[in-house]
Amino acid sequence: MAIISPFQAWRYDPDRVPVQQAVTQPYDKISPAMQERYYQASPYNLVRIILGKRLPGDGDAENVYTRAAASFQNWRQTGVLRRDPEPSIYRYSQTFIVPGGAPGSPARAERRGFIGLGRIEEYSAGVVFRHEQTLAKPKADRLDLLRANRAHFGQIFMLYSGAGKVDALLDSSAAPDIEVADEYDVVHRVWKISDSSVVASVQEQMRDRKLIIADGHHRYETALTYRNERRAEAGAGLPAPYDSVMMTFVDMDRPGLVILPTHRVVFGLPSFSAAQFQAETRKFFNVEEVDAGIDAARATAILQQAGHAGTALLAVTAERAFLLHSPKAIGASLFGNLSLRQQALDVVQLHKCLLEGVLKISEEAIRNQENVSYCREAAEALVQVHSGKVQVAFLMNPVRMEQVRDIAFAGEVLPQKSTDFYPKLLTGLTIYALE
């Protein structure tokens, strides 16, 4: 069962620092330019803790983690951060424009959820499910940060199926406690909810829910490792603060849950011919040539329409463009042990049939991004291919939420860069200190 708890969050005191100048995107979405901009925004910007600058003289005594811990301690002691007086959960709303929307798609959307503590569970317990693999290096970095600070600064983005019941419990016309617009013009609003009867009702509604990690796989597994470390030190006993991690829970049955596609661009192949690619691709798909001068809006519309019937991909070269659809059974031998659920994914068809089968890019090379890189915006992918920077761009529809759900609940994972949940959760709206 999913055990949800209220907590006394540490939050920025708006009289000391405007929240706008203090919060950040998730650590793994912060580019060097963004890091510098956050540093300039405020001496109390959270980037100094979650992704501080590494200095030439760093060693065991002083380093990015010790500086983070010193800042966190100082900000609490001096009142930059203040702890809420009573245990609460926090309703969280994000209002945004859907990027790259096809004609007819809603101009503006709202995603609702709530922030609370979720008990950390082993995947084998059948409560928390992942949908992607993790890498050792990011987990080692986050574990060092967690050991130094003993706090969680960002939320794990969790999905559950709740038919809107929790959202209804938390609905309110009151003014938000926090309102901030980020650099992508997403408006984030947070309401503190301390009414014990409301909190208890939410806990009861969530008790039988299964949770899927949308974003935050590395941080979740880091929290699990840290919990196990602390348990080994303390021995068996009562539940402790390290048994839980801060999460934002979003109902996957509600509107506003947006998954963006992540397009692929291919470069650096010793030889590439659009005509040869077209001929080889016919072994795996029905191929229709489309206008070579296609723009992003038209590409999105074509993909959306063709995708109603199943897999649809657009392959665009400098001078030609092809719509690939209706996969042929000949490709089945390329899928190895992948389940039929995974084989039905456009991204799996792309990787196995086209990148590996036609272009002969190995799975390892794809993983290491030796000949393949990723692009959120279709327009940017088209600019790269028409400028000659890359040899071919592959545009696709986003994976559907029900596909993510079914694969996660089956204990399987999607290929890397398969899902891009938008918008991201801001880091620093609430902070969970373990001690």
Q: What's the sign of the alpha-carbon dihedral 3, 188, 32, 266? A: positive
Q: What integer pLDDT is reported at residue 106 of this predicted model?
A: 55
Query: Which residues lie closer than 8 Å to 214 by C-beta, 6 or more apart?
Result: 131, 157, 158, 159, 250, 404, 419, 421
Q: Domain spanning 262-397 has what CATH number? A: 3.30.1760
Per-residue pLDDT reduced to its tens digit, 89-139? 999 999 999 887 544 555 789 999 999 999 999 999 999 999 988 878 889
Over range 306-329, report the average pLDDT.
94
Strand-pair category, 392-396 with 312-316? antiparallel
Boundaries of every domain in the chain: 4-258+422-433, 262-397
pTM here is 0.92
Q: Is the pLDDT of residue 236 over 90?
A: no
Which tokens in the block code for residue 45?
A: 């910007």
- Rounded to whole angstroms, the Cα distance separating 115 from 6 reads 9
Please report the pLDDT score of residue 267 as a whole number. Answer: 97
Q: How far apart are CA 110 and CA 334, in angstroms?
A: 40
Q: How far is CA 397 from the centre of its chain?
A: 17
Per-residue pLDDT band for 331 (boundaries 50, 70, 90) equals low
Angle at 11 between CA 6 and CA 12, to 5 degrees: 170
Give the pLDDT score at 102: 46
pLDDT of residue 332: 64
Q: What is the pLDDT of residue 363?
A: 87
Which ranges of 42-195 would DSSP assign to H, the alpha helix?
A: 47-50, 64-77, 136-149, 165-170
